[in-house]
Structure 1
């Protein structure tokens, strides 16, 4: 359906092609209607040109005098008064006003529809049950308010809804709250007799719990005086009655308890022509804004007031902008604090790492001191028998030399004989060698014990002397001789000639060299891999360089930067503590040197340890 508004005239293209021109004459407060019946089925191609000509004619008539228009043929509605029925006690939708006349939202809506459609109406409000009976008997043509249901749709034809009814549970203040209808089972509930909720609750087996009243107003009045604890009433009528009757002790405690009910115009089944006229009028009201005006007059005051976006923006500006400024200031301040905290945290972290490193070095120093005491005692016990061996060896050699003349003469006289199960000839050849090996072994024991004592001895950093670097490295190599023999079949050393001396502490440098060689041994997967030790002098940098190269498994690239970090180790499961390289790096740093690593994963590692030469070009 199409509605065209031209001044005081509405042009409506209605159902089945019926074209109506509705003209309001202000001076007579009356409405005339011109009806043009057009069969849209057979003349649809001609409809629009005809509509254009009719609109043009109406404009000319309205413009040149605004005279009342009279229909060429009167419609049946002009000759027949339409009786509209409604509920006399269902405010604010329909009720009898203080002046004794029908009043309310739907009453005004019905009057407005009659006005735009040119219908004569008689609105009769009464008891809801009686009104339904009069509709059935034909004394009423149309109901202006009936909630739609599938069961009612079998007996009545309904218009599109002009209202949506939301039902609620009401109770006195302080009554135990309920949220659903199911919670009302077993409790007495006040309900308006014959209303939509009465039908609904009967269909859902609540009939034995219901206390029926004659109107929603009576329902809430009885609830207010304590007849029952709960009542089920449509929300807007309930709020209207509470306000009008000043029932301040009643509040809605649960809303939307059932699916929304649609409130419509309704006629007896088959009276579609009259229903179409009301539908048409309702559409015109919605198009022209009259529907909204009536709705806001009666129902808008009972609903939460809508706040315009302009008002929202205004108050938002007054509240949000200062909050945003405060928030931005807080964010900047927080950022500044976080930055300061991060800087302090970084400084503390570095200090903590350094503290742990120093602590571990102190622990290591204590261990070395304890080891020194232990080694001193053990060395004394070892050196005593070793000294006896070394002292007695020259005497044994002299005895052998003197005894050889006697033993040789005895062989000449009696022929070859055996000593200790060996022929004298063999004893004559091997006994000097055995004595020589015993001499060398005893000296080696003595030397090793002395090296061990020097290694474990606690020396102050200030006790630095001019050192022969090659000699220091050789001492460390002797200390790990047993380990290197087990780890590899190819252990080589190369010591450069004429190395300049370095200033340092021999025991601490030996500790570094031992650590590096032990790490190289542990890196070898099998004894077939080699370890090479070498020293040389770099005149350009004026440094003495120790190189320890192994053919082991190598070091992953991501681990290289952390090798000298305290407690970092890849051998935790085999007992590694992660302190060896950390302590070594610290010792080298104390000597003004540098420790570097070059490794390819799976191809071995080369470690270089540099120390400043004591004096450029000076040799020991």
Structure 2
């Protein structure tokens, strides 16, 4: 039993020795690429120029070649480590820079150049890379070349050239610097990428190893030189790359060249005959092509002219016209207010903010046109979106501020007209009972004057007489006060009715006459002197006085109302610091201006918006009816005037009335009459 164990131990020792001898006589060749014809695998068998060359070197060196595949970064790490299980790696080195590893003679030349997406500009030199994002394989010969070079581009490190191509398609880089053989393999899989430069870096394939294997590299170089001298290297190059230095038999080559020259002569003669025939055909074809070319040039000229006219029409349109695709990219625009579509202050009239992407997608999905009223600050716009196809739509943008104002004015006119008709009816219905009340109160006042002596006489006869439970003298005083109160209230009702009639009464323009604006001011001041005496008053009247065409009494009514409003808004005091009211007249171009300014309480924005509305007043508790400024507004419009109001709380109010001068109004009336007569 012990003898058997000793025999087994001896056999194992012999096998281990053979294994160590086999490992000692082997070279581990690290492979990382899948690029034909350098290193690749077919049906599980490692093939390629470098692999076959390394196998021939192993045969000449008496060593077995072991192929081991690893990633490129692992091979770079292993080849620098003395403890690595990799002996040799085939790597490209720049022709002007040596790696710090032990390397062989050059195996095969290659180069690197720039690759970009189809349609991008050609890269003529390194200067064209300035400012671009460039993908570079970490540790590759391009990386080694650039390690000591100034870089004016943004470098993006990748683990593989294929990773760089994928980033290029995504748009994360602009250029990929790739080795030629690898790029030739990848381009069929990435048709949107193309070669965009001449070679930028030249390099050569070398076998490299770490310092401890320097003797091994000497053996590889000796074997490589033998293969080049024997012609086997050229055979391998021709086999894998289709070129190489083959050995030539001169005699057989001369015979082959003679037969080839004869064949070429025959082909040349046939070619000459064919060339003559083709030349004649080409002359005829050239003539017909010239005629066709002239016709096409004429048609293109007409199309270009029509296109320019169409472009001029689109550019001349005052409204915005923009063409968008589904990705919300602007395909064309006449640059008219196109920026509003991206503004956060551009929203629908009902209050919803406009989102271009959302609205455009909805229109394209439904294939239904959209028309909406929009707002931007104080402006109003009409937006139209019309789908052209499933992925494009045209957006029309038209300012509608003036139309919006006209609609509001029309609505206000309709409302005021309805209110005027209602006011006239109400005034008519109220006027009759009010007249009866005033007439009855007048009768009661006269009766009270006659009853006073009779009451005194009867009181002497009957000292205990009372009227409605009151002492007669007190009762008569209360009756007189009640009569006075009823009379005041009835007169107030009568004034309101008269204001309503004035508001609803149509103006008869044929009764207009020329008058001086300064006279209207002086008459109004005399009629309001009792109220103005409590305030400081300044008048600045232009001389000669501006002349207007209209109704002087109606404008007096307007000015009196404005003076009374200024007095109500101001606080009277007895010193020199009392409120100031200023009235002035002036002319500007073809217009006359009447300005009333006070230093009273002023008005806020909400009050300013409603100041000319019928029945709106801030003095309801003091007896205001809200019809004064409404009537004034109507009178000013009938005189083709304009009322501008500016006010600030605690500072005061300024009202400016602007009317056309009498000369301008008369000239406009003559032109209108002449136009109407020609039309009739």
TM-score, with length taken from structure 2: 0.35
TM-score, with length taken from structure 1: 0.38
Rg: which structure is higher?
Answer: 1
If asked which structure has higher relative contact order (CA below 8 Å, sep 6+), I would say: 1
